[in-house]
Amino acid sequence: MNVSTLLAALHQAVRDRAYFTQLVVSDQSQNVLKARLYLAPNLFVQVYRNDRFDTTNLVVVHNDRRIFGRDQLSSRWHRHPVDDPASHDFGPEGQRGVDLREFLDEVESVLTSLGLP
């Protein structure tokens, strides 16, 4: 995953998933991308990628709090599970790398389990 492929995947997600109301790209350069996919004003998926440092952050934010996420730091992934989003899961499932499509599939399951739109 790099900035250009991630940006293309974000635009595709907006086309494929009708529940996203808006894509906001707040920072973009050759090496950095920061964007939000909004479901509601207080519910969004935030995406950050830095190619230079090989860092990816994928997080669901509700009412200004992370409720689920996955991070990649120098090719090593970990997960912030929905039952304890402040923790870091470095187990086999937590270390499994995901692309944006797979993360958004996980987000759908998380939101459904929490009764969120």
| 35 vs 44: CA distance, rounded Å | 10
Q: What is the pTM of this model?
A: 0.94
For the chain, helix, strand, coil in percent to 5 are 30, 40, 30
- Domain positions in the chain are 3-114
Is residue 16's pLDDT more than 90? yes
DSSP states along 42-86: TEEEEEEEETTTTEEEEEEEETTEEEEEEEEETTEEEEE-TT-TT
pLDDT tens, position by position, 50-69: 999 999 999 999 999 999 99
Residue 17 has pLDDT above 90, yes or no: yes
CB 80 within 8 A of CB 88: yes
Beta bridge partners of 89: 79
> Rounded distance, CA 20 to CA 85, Å?
22
